[in-house]
Amino acid sequence: MKNESLSHAQQVAAFKRLFEEHYGAIRNFLYYKTGDMAEAQDLAQEAFSQMWVKRDHIRQEQAKNYLYTTANNLFINAAKHQQVVLRFQNSPRVERFAQDPQFELEQKEFQQRLEHTIASLPEKQREVFLMNRIEKMTYQEIATSLNLSVKAVEKRMHQALIVLRKLSEKI
Amino acid sequence: MNQPLPDHEILRLWLEGKGQAPEGLDPELLRAVEEAGKLDVPSTSSTDAAWERFMQENHIETPVEAVTRPLWKRYWAVAAALALVVSLGVIFLEPNNPQPQQIALTTLTTTNAEHTSIDLPDGSSVMVNAASHIEFDKENWETNREVHLEGEAYFDVEKGSTFKVLTSMGDVEVLGTRFNVYARKDGFEVACLSGKVKVTPESGSSSTFSILSPQQIFRASTQSAGAVTELGDKQAASWRKGEFSFDNTPLIEVIAVMERQYNVQIELDGISERVFFGNFTNDDLDEAFRLVTGPLGLKYVKLGDSKYRISGTD
């Protein structure tokens, strides 16, 4: 009995480390897909809950892949998604520009067009692009997480860049 | 007006922060990519708060060290714990305490447009394509490595006792290997990626089986009894990467794949006897339509929500 509860405590501790390591990335991944932070949080919770149930059968090195796969399945199985609207916040800007109202305005407009264009990307391109840009993941890391070939990641990044290039043509 | 983009390798090094921005890159694109790198998701609750919620939702107790407490407090705690266990027991099946006599098959069903992987108890894994169903007995797995399959799945099997995939179209036996099984109403295909795979189609007696080596594929359809051919340098089970390629495939089968992968319905307007060479991926429906209809000189129209029609141009 005592041993059992001890090993349970160890299991919880190990799972907590896993949770702390991956929760943020999985939640963000779901945000890139859904554009809805509340839903992203719910689905991320659900992904970890499913992993908790299956914890005895998942090896440490499979955990990350399992989480992304489960998150993706949960997203697909969730109700149909409406047009995604993404909102971002910016990291603090360099101060010297802050005084120039002309620059500020132009910057704000650019930002809006950028967010709009990113939101308009097909989901598969958007997630790969933002995993690279925001999560700072390498192509290899993205490929491993999503069970894709590096070639497929390359292709999606390439397609995303082609859309972004037309940013200035969009209003 | 736009320069072609630099090649993948140069883009990759730049985007991974290992190299300079490529020369001659559209300044607007350069700026967009750099600005995107400064974005962050909207502020949200902390990981600590998420962990609290996780423990609560999954009824995980905070592990505490055993401390000696007054007797009455302990009784109270035991009573409370018992009440909790009893009430939970009604709602949940305890996953770590299976009834030994009970035969509970683990099942997994995928819908259209869904790919799922599942690990088997011995560490073997199965990746299940859209609109498919698998079943296996987790409790007796050690003595009984059998998976029932309808649809299509890719297996990566750990070495061990005989591993069987049973389908209504035929059975597949291996020891430890990687292979893909397609078993739907319109056909039965087994592709071997490594090791040896034994295929016994349902129609034949048990003496008519085929042994596949890597890069060999067994194909049977409703019309043909089945034969083994070489895959050559073609990749088996590329559906795992979301890629679907076809070689002299009846259009009606190609359309069935599109319907499953995109969860759409497609009518064929009197052209089902055409065949298709080519490929598409499962991440861009319009592109898939163009790739399929273009070379065949066909046109496609959207009829309504997830409904399409392909017809000849007349």
For an interface test with B, the pick among A39, A80, A89, A137 (most B C-beta atoms closer than 10 Å) comes out as A89
Q: How confident is the model at residue A29 (pLDDT cuts 50, 70, 90)?
A: very high
Answer whether B30's CB lies under 8 Å from B6's CB. no
Q: Which residues of B touch A117 (CB under 8 A)?
A: 32
Residue of A nearest to B123 (CA): A57
Quote the pLDDT of residue B103.
54
Indicate the DSSP class of residue A147: T
Phi and psi torsions of B277, nearest 5°: -115, 130
Which candidate from B45, B119, B243 shows the least CB-CB separation from A57? B119
Name the residue with higher pLDDT: A93 or A42: A42
Contact B50 A132 (CB under 8 A): no
CA distance B70 to chain A (A): 19
CA distance A121 to chain B (A): 11
Contact A88 B42 (CB under 8 A): yes
Quote the pLDDT of residue B90.
40
Quote the pLDDT of residue B204.
54
Its ipTM equals 0.83
Structural Rg of chain A based on CA atoms: 19
Residue whose tokens read 């809805």: A36
Assign A112 to helix, strand or coil.
helix
Quote the pLDDT of residue B305.
83
Assign B209 to helix, strand or coil.
coil
Which candidate from B17, B113, B241 shows the least CB-CB separation from A76? B113
- Mean pLDDT over all residues of chain A? 82
Helix axes B27-36, A123-133, angle to 10 degrees: 70
Quote the pLDDT of residue B233.
67
**For residue B271, what are the contacts with CB-CB under 8 A and spacing of at least 6?**
B251, B296, B298, B310, B311, B312
Asked if pLDDT for residue A112 goes beyond 60, the answer is yes
Mean pLDDT by 10 residues, chain B (314 residues): 75 88 84 88 84 89 49 50 45 42 68 82 86 86 87 87 88 84 87 86 68 86 78 74 82 87 85 81 86 85 87 72
Q: Which residues of A touch B62 (CB under 8 A)?
A: 12
Which candidate from A69, A133, A147 shows the least CB-CB separation from B37? A133
CA distance A159 to chain B (A): 10
Q: Which residues of B touch A106 (CB under 8 A)?
A: none
Torsion angle (degrees, nearest 10) of CA B64, B69, B73, B75: 90
* Alpha-carbon separation of residue B291 from B264, B283, B286, B295, B297 (angstroms): 17, 13, 9, 7, 10
Quote the pLDDT of residue B97.
43
CA distance B15 to chain A (A): 7
Quote the pLDDT of residue A22.
94
Torsion angle (degrees, nearest 10) of CA B166, B167, B172, B174: -40
Quote the pLDDT of residue B160.
78
Q: Which residues of B touch A23 (CB under 8 A)?
A: 47, 50-51
